[in-house]
Structure 1
Amino acid sequence: MKGSGGDMEKPKIDRLMAAIVQEQDVDGAVRALQNLNFVVTRLPSTGGFLGRRSTTLLIGSPAEQIETAVKTLQKKCRTRIEYVTIPLEGTPLPIPAPTPITVGGATIFTLEIERYEEI
């Protein structure tokens, strides 16, 4: 959270959020967080049940702004139903069966930090 003129006092960054966000939601989430003056860094990531590409957002924040960041991510990172094919067991031929799974949203970890510097 930086001021443009340099005369604005910087807030105390004492929390670090790591938010894992689906690729479809990341641009909107980053824009919304940056519009609220959060410090956001993107890291590409992969994982989860489907092994899909995602982005891990590192978000620096004062403790009192964590709920604002969480609510922003809730608004921008929606869940979706996707279908994956899983072979049916016990059949003579492997017949794929489409199975619905819920994906999306955001997975958020919040950590206390002892020190934050911009050098």
Structure 2
Amino acid sequence: MKLIIAIVQDNDASALINTLTDLGFKVTKLATTGGFLKAGNTTLLVGVEAEKVDEVISQIDKVCKTRNQVVTTPSPVAGSTGIYVPYPMEVEVGGANIFVVDVDKFIKI
């Protein structure tokens, strides 16, 4: 058995959960916060048999596409004066970070 940990953008989470549950996978959703954009994201836990891992990853790839988004980030303007002026910056968001780990034991009570 394997545990798939998928960190996805909040905008993709609902569609991905619906897709996976429609295919019969059980999904646990955790609300998490990313460090780079300090924005909400979703971490999904999916326990599957080893032969189903590629199917789940394929569905994640179909739903969680990367895209560009403009964010506002502070920038030092006057050297060390401590004055910050926000400026827009385009960053790539979306996609998924996926970890697949072995499960030594699974117990459902």
Which residue in 2 is equivalent to 1:99? 89
Kept in 1, the 8 Å contact 2:77–2:85? The answer is no
Matching of residue 80 in structure 1 with residue 67 in structure 2: yes
Per the TM alignment, residue 26 of structure 1 is displaced from its structure 2 partner at its CA by: 0.6
When normalised by structure 2's length, the TM-score is: 0.86
How many matched pairs?
106
* Structure 1 unmatched runs, 5+: 1-13
CA gap 1:55/1:87 in 2 versus in 1, 3 angstroms:
closer
Which residue in 2 is equivalent to 1:110? 100
Normalized per residue, the structure richer in strand is: 2
Matching of residue 67 in structure 1 with residue 54 in structure 2: yes
Which residue in 2 is equivalent to 1:50? 37
Q: Which has the larger radius of gyration?
A: 1
CA gap 1:26/1:95 in 2 versus in 1, 3 angstroms:
same
CA gap 1:118/1:87 in 2 versus in 1, 3 angstroms:
closer
Give the distance between the partners of 2:37 and 2:76, measured in 1 at CA: 20
* Structure 2 unmatched runs, 5+: none
Deviation track 1:16-69 (CA, whole Å, cap 9, x = no partner) reads: 011111111111101111111112111111113111111110000111111100
- The Cα RMSD (Å) is 1.8
Counterpart of 1:20, as a letter, is: I
Give the distance between the partners of 1:91 and 1:98, measured in 2 at CA: 18
Aligned residues: percent identity?
Answer: 38
Which residue in 1 is equivalent to 2:27? 40
Deviation track 1:77-114 (CA, whole Å, cap 9, x = no partner) reads: 12121112334556587554321100111111110001
CA gap 1:96/1:44 in 2 versus in 1, 3 angstroms:
closer
When normalised by structure 1's length, the TM-score is: 0.79
